């Protein structure tokens, strides 16, 4: 279950992007975590771009990436139909500081 501290961690990571030149990324790792989906996830991406090159990231860029992840049909299908249970373990920032990753257990 997603806990408040996980949301705060994600918020801090995303907040650190605001006002800095893009792009940044949100990697929800649904396809990467679900080895049961076989070819269903082939060609799909679970990484969503935040902002654009040469332009400072604005809050709306973050919201747009999160909306895109929430509404992505392939990700919804993989989450719903391929027998993998999901337990959210938090968020991590990549070592280069450019990607917020969701961490999953099962």
Angle between helix axes 59-71 and 73-81 (nearest 10 degrees) is: 50
> How many domains are there within the chain?
1
In this structure, how many other beta carbons lie within 10 angstroms of the beta carbon of residue 28?
22
Beginning with the edge strand found earlier in the chain, give each strand of the sheet holding 99-105 in spatial order: 47-50, 24-27, 99-105, 87-93
Is a pLDDT exceeding 90 seen at residue 97? yes
Beta strands in the chain (DSSP E): 24-27, 47-50, 87-93, 99-105
pLDDT digits (tens, 9 = 90+) for 12-41: 999 999 999 999 999 988 777 665 555 555
CA 2 to the chain's CA centroid: 14
CB-CB contact of 44 with 74 (8 Å):
yes
> Whats the size of the chain, residue-wise?
106
Structural domain containing residue 75:
4-105
Instruction: Name the residue with higher pLDDT: 7 or 51.
Output: 51
pLDDT digits (tens, 9 = 90+) for 72-89: 877 777 666 665 566 778
């Amino acid at each position: 279950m997603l806990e408040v501290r996980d949301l705060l961690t994600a918020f801090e990571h995303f907040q650190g992007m605001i006002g800095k030149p893009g792009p940044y990324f949100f990697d929800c790792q649904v396809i990467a975590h679900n080895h049961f989906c076989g070819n269903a996830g082939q060609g799909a991406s679970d990484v969503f771009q935040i902002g654009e090159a040469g332009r400072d990231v604005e809050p709306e860029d973050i919201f747009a990436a999160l909306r895109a992840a929430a509404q992505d049909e392939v990700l919804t299908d993989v989450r719903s139909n391929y027998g993998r249970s999901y337990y959210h373990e938090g968020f991590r920032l990549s070592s280069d500081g450019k990607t917020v990753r969701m961490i999953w257990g099962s």
